[in-house]
Amino acid sequence: MKHFLDIHKTDPDELRGIIDNAARIKNARDGRPKGAPDDDLPLKDHIVALIFEKPSTRTRVSFDVGVRQMGGQTMVLSGADMQLGHGETIADTARVLSRYVDLIMIRTFEEQTLLELAEYATVPVINGLTDRTHPCQIMADILTFEEHRGPIKGKKVVWSGDGNNVCASFIHAAGQFGFNLTFTGPETLDPEPGFVELARSKGVDIEIERDAHKAAQGADLIVTDTWVSMHDPQSARERRHNQLRGYQVNDQLMAQAKPDALFMHCLPAHRDDEATSSVMDGPNSVIFDEAENRLHAQKAIMRWCLER
């Protein structure tokens, strides 16, 4: 069973194949209308369940459109529809869904929900996001970097801000794709030490540098994410802003990086908090290419899961 649960759980050669296939899928569309089907329809007669315990824009639309372009059909289910683990067990839900659909994507809170679903499902399961990781986003980010700057191996990536789930998957990717990553942020928001050590064990440099301007020196890519979650209370939002104010990605920070360094943000963004509008709309920003590439990367992930 080929689940796509996390970047560090997938073989590096398989990951490289997914990225290369995503680029091929994107190029094959050659500017055709956005909703038009692909030339080949690898998901014809396939149904994909898209489960959203957490709300979403990019994940929902990109997976839904991707399935349709490849000839399949989607069944979109909210947390309220499913009541995962609040009545029927997750294990039984997995067993039942596997009798109806060919593939399951889930965007959820607890990592354990994802893992239990995958353990008991008899169809592939894709991690659309958990509170701990966000692998589909980083596959899109790798695709985006490489289409603009070539192979990411050996490059320097700087993550500025909160060592959150997106940061965690970037650290996983560093180990699997062979690039170096510097985290700059407050100690209270450091990434998980286990993730850092795992990537270092693969032979890449994972650094933690409190001085954001020093961290950005020589960077090929600077990445950030929102400082607050939609679920955070106001008190937590204020505390996060106070902690992270010195890690805003602005023109001064970008000036420390290489002249052709790219800027990424997975969106949605709080403009002029974690990054200024001048950076987000500037010549080094690839945030909307990054958003589009969720579609192509996820199509390649689904094809890999179904061996199509």
Distance CA 67, CA 15 (A): 20
Read off the amino acid at residue 196: V
Q: Which of 3, 8, 137, 296 is catalytic?
A: 137
Distance CA 246, CA 170 (A): 21
Active site residue 266: yes
* Cβ-contact 220, 191 below 8 angstroms: no
Q: Which of 134, 172, 240, 296 is catalytic?
A: 134
Q: Residue 256 burial by CB count (10 A; 0-12/13-18/19+): exposed, middle or buried? A: middle
Give the E-state strand segments of the chain in sequence order: 47-52, 73-78, 103-107, 125-129, 156-160, 180-184, 206-208, 221-224, 262-265
User: DSSP for 163-229?
Assistant: --HHHHHHHHHHHHHT-EEEEES-GGGPPPHHHHHHHHHTT--EEE-S-HHHHHTT-SEEEE--SS-
Active site residue 137: yes
Would you state the structure tokens that stand for residue 161, as one six-digit string? 């801000």
Q: Which of 225, 296, 303, 305 is catalytic?
A: 225
Q: Which of 46, 58, 294, 303 is catalytic?
A: 294
Q: Which of 3, 46, 107, 303 is catalytic?
A: 107
Active site residue 29: no
Q: Which of 266, 273, 298, 305 is catalytic?
A: 266
Q: Which residues are catalytic?
A: 107, 134, 137, 225, 266, 294
